[in-house]
Amino acid sequence: MGLIMRLSRYFLPVLKENPAEAQIVSHRLMLRAGMIKQASAGIYSWLPLGFKVLRKLENIIHEEQLRAGHLPIQMPILQGADLWRESGRYDAYGAEMLRMKDRHDRDMLFTPTAEELVTDIFRSHVGSYKDLPMTLYQIQWKFRDEIRPRFGVMRGREFYMKDGYNFDLTKEDALHAYNRHLVSYLRTYERMGLQAIPMRADSGPIGGDDTHEFLVLADTGESEVFYDSKVTDLSFGDREIDYDDRAGCQGVLDEFTSLYARTDETHDEALFNQIPEERRRVARGIEVGQIFYFGTKYSESMNAMVQDAEGNNVPVHMGSHGIGVSRLIGALIEANHDDNGIIWPEGVTPFHCGIVNLKQGDDEADAACDSLYKSLIALGLDPLYDDRKERAGGKFATMDLIGLPWRITVGPRGLKNGVVEVTNRRTGESEEMPPEQAVQKIHAIYAAI
């Protein structure tokens, strides 16, 4: 267990040069920090450091979905075409769907989304209103044959997505599910250290009337955003939320969506101009999630019915909800970096802190690092110990590039005075303290999040 967190045994293929193919900073830094390797256009292998961050995001998403009462499942990556013919989307979906045939000449496809599959699961097993409400979700690889994959994981062809689907008896119930998702997404992004603004949006090929996208403001974002600057003052914070409390969830939606924030076809110049001029903003944003209510679109075409309390068979009301898990890593880096590299928010950092040994091979420095390393692990923390025989400058550059929020630097000179140095990656500020105090400090920081 311990060995894999020593840099001498880790696999961190950092690049010194800027890769020519990367146009935006997140793509450049993910390649330079050895997080991903392109396999083919828009398709990536995730190397240990990148994979670790992906798992962190996934864990946060699971925790917040479970808290909201949603049920995790796993559906296949390959789907048969028949269900899509039933819903009418097989032809409608277009060239973004990667289609293939199996050896029996059956039409198959690589999942771009899973409304059909999940509706089929539902209709096969649920027949009564008594089993509702129900929300099923998965975190699974998707494939969309994007015409222009670019910006690394931001617009991949293969990408990792959380997709959830709610089934409810009435429109009112389904709108509560919509609100629940909005709240759980706000919590999710905030835990990742991101501000994602919910914006009214156009529903596109999923269909339906009600939809919000979640956008992270960034110059490199692909979406144009018109908003009232006051939306960026909103924060979910540490308020308690009861997901069964309909008025409470509706209140959060109202609070977070009453100010003007729109993009694409829904933008309304006249409404926008009603905002006081000094608060009007036009900027760019990265779409990191979207929620939809689409009513009975799929339940009617696919005959997903339940019996209501009066014994009538009625189509269920549905919605779907997505988070771009792999894209989020790009968005996180766009929002958190400086000239030297990534700066991970504490909630998603791949390692809690780095330990830099300034004089590897010096008995005292080695022993102090070993002891720090073990004490941190004993407290449940996950440090990365740079135990390579490298120059100090090179070690600092690597730590800055991979962006761990805290660094403990250990050298013979400090140890003579009984101290190590603790450095904050974001501010660059350093503080000297005894090793035990450094351990306590790092522990306290992560205990608080």
Does position 285 interact with ligand ATP (CB under 6 A)? The reply is no
Rounded to whole angstroms, what are the CA distances from 281 to 168, 182, 335, 352, 416?
A: 38, 23, 18, 36, 55
* Closest residue to ligand ATP in the complex (CB): 324
Candidate ranges 116-124, 132-140, 152-160, 235-243; the one touching ligand ATP (CB under 6 A): 152-160
Which residues, 6 or more positions from 326, have their beta carbon under 8 angstroms from its beta carbon?
44, 54, 153, 156, 159, 160, 161
- Phi then psi dihedrals of residue 379, to 5 deg: -90, 10
Alpha helices of 294-362 — where are they, by DSSP H? 297-301, 325-335
Does position 161 interact with ligand ATP (CB under 6 A)? The reply is yes
Does position 295 interact with ligand ATP (CB under 6 A)? The reply is no
User: How many Å apart are CA 33 and CA 27, to the nearest integer?
Assistant: 10
Among 24, 288, 343, 404, which residue sits at the site for ligand ATP (rule: CB under 6 A)? 288
Give min distance, CB of 279 to Mg ion, in A: 26
Tokens 């009232």 belong to which residue?
A: 228
- Both tokens of 93, joined, read 């979906």
Which does residue 146 bind out of Mg ion, ligand ATP, none, counting CB within 5 to 8 angstroms by kind? ligand ATP
CA-wise closest residue to 413 among 350, 357, 348:
357
Among 34, 324, 341, 435, which residue sits at the site for ligand ATP (rule: CB under 6 A)? 324
Give min distance, CB of 163 to Mg ion, in A: 11
User: How many Å apart are CA 412 and CA 435, to the nearest integer?
Assistant: 13
Give min distance, CB of 448 to ligand ATP, in A: 29
Scanning residues 13 to 42, which ones bind ligand ATP (CB under 6 A)? none
Question: Nearer Cβ to ligand ATP, position 209 or 238?
Answer: 209
User: How many Å apart are CA 391 and CA 356, to the nearest integer?
Assistant: 11
Give min distance, CB of 211 to Mg ion, in A: 8
Among 152, 289, 350, 383, which residue sits at the site for ligand ATP (rule: CB under 6 A)? 289
- Phi then psi dihedrals of residue 172, to 5 deg: -60, -45
Does position 46 interact with ligand ATP (CB under 6 A)? The reply is no
User: How many Å apart are CA 356 and CA 384, to the nearest integer?
Assistant: 9
Encoded amino acid at 25, one letter: V
Does position 156 interact with ligand ATP (CB under 6 A)? The reply is yes
Question: Nearer Cβ to ligand ATP, position 34 or 285?
Answer: 285
Among 146, 210, 362, 432, which residue sits at the site for ligand ATP (rule: CB under 6 A)? 146
Contacting positions for Mg ion (CB under 5 A):
290
Q: Is 372 exposed, middle or buried (0-12, 13-18, 19+ CB in 10 A)?
A: buried
Question: Nearer Cβ to ligand ATP, position 119 or 409?
Answer: 119
Question: Nearer Cβ to ligand ATP, position 287 or 400?
Answer: 287
Give min distance, CB of 152 to ligand ATP, in A: 9
Does position 262 interact with ligand ATP (CB under 6 A)? The reply is no
- Both tokens of 171, joined, read 């429109």
Give me the residues that bind ligand ATP (CB under 6 A), please: 113, 144, 146, 155-156, 159, 161, 287-290, 322, 324, 326-327
